[in-house]
Amino acid sequence: GIQVEQSPPDLILQEGANSTLRCNFSDSVNNLQWFHQNPWGQLINLFYIPSGTKQNGRLSATTVATERYSLLYISSSQTTDSGVYFCAVGPYGNNRLAFGKGNQVVVIP
């Protein structure tokens, strides 16, 4: 099956700093989503981005489908940005999402 690798696995940031999370995947996809998992376990949709660039407030994402990677940018980080970020991909002809192991982000004041 498709492989999804996220880096870095753990990240500690000072409040106000910027960061980039990376997701590499091993096959062509027609679905790519970024999630933030809250402390209660719910997956919050951040972006649906199988290709291109999107921005939502302090967050933005870019997927380069031909090179099989996606980036999630967090700017001016806040303590509420702490948590686990997941990248999930859906290969062509397959309905399931395959998740990476996540990026654990801690923002300290």
Partner 1 sequence: DTGVSQDPRHKITKRGQNVTFRCDPISEHNRLYWYRQTLGQGPEFLTYFQNEAQLEKSRLLSDRFSAERPKGSFSTLEIQRTEQGDSAMYLCASAAGAGDTQYFGPGTRLTVL
Binding region for partner 1 (CB under 8 A)? 4, 30-31, 33, 35, 40-43, 45, 48, 50, 86, 88, 90, 95-102
Instruction: Select 74 or 98, whichever has its Cβ closest to partner 1.
Output: 98
Sign of the dihedral through C-alpha 72, 45, 33, 89:
positive
102 sits in the region (left: phi over 0; alpha: psi -120 to 50; else beta) called left
- What length is written for the chain? 109
Rounded to a whole number of angstroms, the minimum distance from the CB of residue 11 to partner 1 is: 16
Rounded to a whole number of angstroms, the minimum distance from the CB of residue 41 to partner 1 is: 5
Instruction: Select 26 or 31, whichever has its Cβ closest to partner 1.
Output: 31
Q: Which two tokens stand for residue 64?
A: 């380069």
Instruction: Select 27 or 102, whichever has its Cβ closest to partner 1.
Output: 102
